[in-house]
Amino acid sequence: MAIKKITTSTLQKMKLNGEKISMLTAYDFSFARIFDAAGIDILLVGDSASNVMAGNETTLPITLEQMIYHAQCVMKGVNRSFVVVDLPFGSYQSNSEIALASSIRIMKETGAHAIKLEGGEEVAESIKRIVSAGIPVMGHLGLTPQSINKFGSYIVRAKEDAEAEKLKRDIKIIEEAGCFSVVLEKIPALLAKVVTESVHIPTIGIGAGKYCDGQVLVMHDMLGINSEFKPRFIRQYQELETLISGAAKEYIANVKSNDFPSDGESY
């Protein structure tokens, strides 16, 4: 039977039907293949690759070329999921022409299905231009990690009225500009509920409570690959750091004691 691929209209129908949307990040072929086969709706090639793959403190250093490389790897593992790629810092903020050029590179060189960018009113022109070129755009509001130097920390956003009101305006503006969906990061659950109900496009939350139309987590966080990073909004489904470290220690001991390889593991 042919695989039914997820598209922007599938995601729209899921919101209408009240079916929650599942999204995880992926940065390489092997994990994309596993998550796709497990049935994930959306795979995000997030610029969190800068943190979890490259070891940087922020998402700012990752380049467009590096994002394209990760997206190319992910696309090779995908049959069904809808793949969204982050426009990295510096690849869209200057003006809408540069934003469109960066988006076209991602679509042409990776075969991904959509791009994501951070911001509200200030990126509305770019969203319009990218969407009119036929490229689906996912927005990202609330805590926008590319602006970490403006915020100064990764604390919950929009707790104060002024910022909450701006977010309510911004989500309408980016919906109007053509976004097919939006990530809401680290905002109060009740604000996420209000804005989710105020728009027709699906909202995908991370640290934004249960009223969003879907949820996203960074794969390393939900798999417990970095046991030191455990903010309250993460549910850790595995403790892979412990498992991987245990396997590595056992392998090292086996090599040192000449227990590996055995005769059966030799030619």
> Which amino acid would we find at residue 227?
S
Q: Report the nearest approach of ligand KIV to the CB of residue 111 (Å).
A: 20
185 has catalytic annotation? yes
The single residue of 109, 176, 185, 241 carrying the catalytic annotation is 185
CB-side neighbour CA atoms (13 Å) of 165: 3
Q: Is the Cβ of residue 144 or residue 178 nearer to ligand KIV in the bound state?
A: 144
Over the range 40-54, which residues count as b (16 or more CB within 10 Å of their CB) and which as e?
A: bbbbbbbbbbbbbbe
Considering only 36, 41, 47, 170, the residue that binds ligand KIV (CB under 6 A) is 47
> Which amino acid would we find at residue 257?
S
Q: Report the nearest approach of ligand KIV to the CB of residue 250 (Å).
A: 32
**211-230 footprint of ligand KIV as x/- string (CB under 6 A):** -----x-x------------
Question: What is the C-alpha to C-alpha distance for residues 42 and 40, in angstroms, rounded to an integer?
Answer: 6
Beta carbons of 203 and 223 less than 8 angstroms apart: no
Kindly state whether residue 206 participates in binding ligand KIV, applying the rule CB under 6 A.
yes
**73-112 footprint of ligand KIV as x/- string (CB under 6 A):** -------------x--------------------------
Tell me which residue has tokens 């909450």.
164
Q: Is the Cβ of residue 212 or residue 245 nearer to ligand KIV in the bound state?
A: 212
Q: Is the Cβ of residue 58 or residue 248 nearer to ligand KIV in the bound state?
A: 58
Window 167 to 186, contacts with ligand KIV (CB under 6 A): 183, 185
Question: What is the C-alpha to C-alpha distance for residues 200 and 175, in angstroms, rounded to an integer?
Answer: 8
Question: What is the C-alpha to C-alpha distance for residues 7 and 114, in angstroms, rounded to an integer?
Answer: 10
Kindly state whether residue 117 participates in binding ligand KIV, applying the rule CB under 6 A.
no
Say how many residues touch ligand KIV, by CB under 6 A. Answer: 11
Question: What is the C-alpha to C-alpha distance for residues 88 and 64, in angstroms, rounded to an integer?
Answer: 6
Kindly state whether residue 139 participates in binding ligand KIV, applying the rule CB under 6 A.
no
Largest distance between two CA atoms of the chain: 70
Query: Which residues belong to the active site?
Result: 185
